[in-house]
Amino acid sequence: MIAHFILYVRDQKTSTEFYTKVLQMAPTLDVPGMTEFQINEHCILGLMPEAGIKNLLGEKLPDPTAGSGVPRAEIYLLLQGASEYYERALAFGAVDLSAVAARDWGDTVGYSMDADGHVLAFAQRTSPFYGK
């Protein structure tokens, strides 16, 4: 199984530039209406313009622009170097929500928010007891 997580964004080009810089990876797909980043072999992060999904699915779908800027999703990336990713996100325009710190579930995590209101959590496992 490959999981595709697609975020609806106001400006595909701006969001693509942001995620390219923060993730330090080039998109595997970048065409009008969709950008994709291969996070790992089982996960793809997609960016689709808000207007694009509305055109695709029509009137049954509530207008995504009505929720633009309101936190609607969180991307929780478990990786090495969480602090570096967090700082890079802030350097490229993300809003600081909560500095990198040890959390009570066993991860060290920093939270920021992109221009569309998506929460970005950059985490690394710090507890050897996680999941026990």
Instruction: Give the whole-angstrom CA distance, residue 19 versus residue 47.
Output: 9
Other C-beta atoms lying within 10 Å of the C-beta of residue 72: 14
Judge if pTM exceeds 0.95: no
Domains annotated for the chain, with CATH where assigned, are 3-125 (3.10.180.10)
- Return the structure tokens found at 119: 């929460």
Q: What is the pLDDT along the chain (132 residues), one digit of tens a residue?
A: 999 999 999 999 999 999 999 999 999 999 999 999 999 999 999 999 998 888 888 888 888 887 777 788 999 999 999 999 999 999 999 999 999 999 999 999 999 999 999 999 999 998 766 555
- Tokens 């050897």 -> residue: 128
Other C-beta atoms lying within 10 Å of the C-beta of residue 91: 10
Instruction: Give the whole-angstrom CA distance, residue 120 versus residue 109.
Output: 10
- Return the structure tokens found at 55: 């055109």
Please classify residue 39 by burial: count the beta carbons closer than 10 Å to its beta carbon, then call 0-12 exposed, 13-18 middle and 19+ buried. Answer: middle
**Closest among 15, 5, 116 to 70, alpha carbons compared:** 116
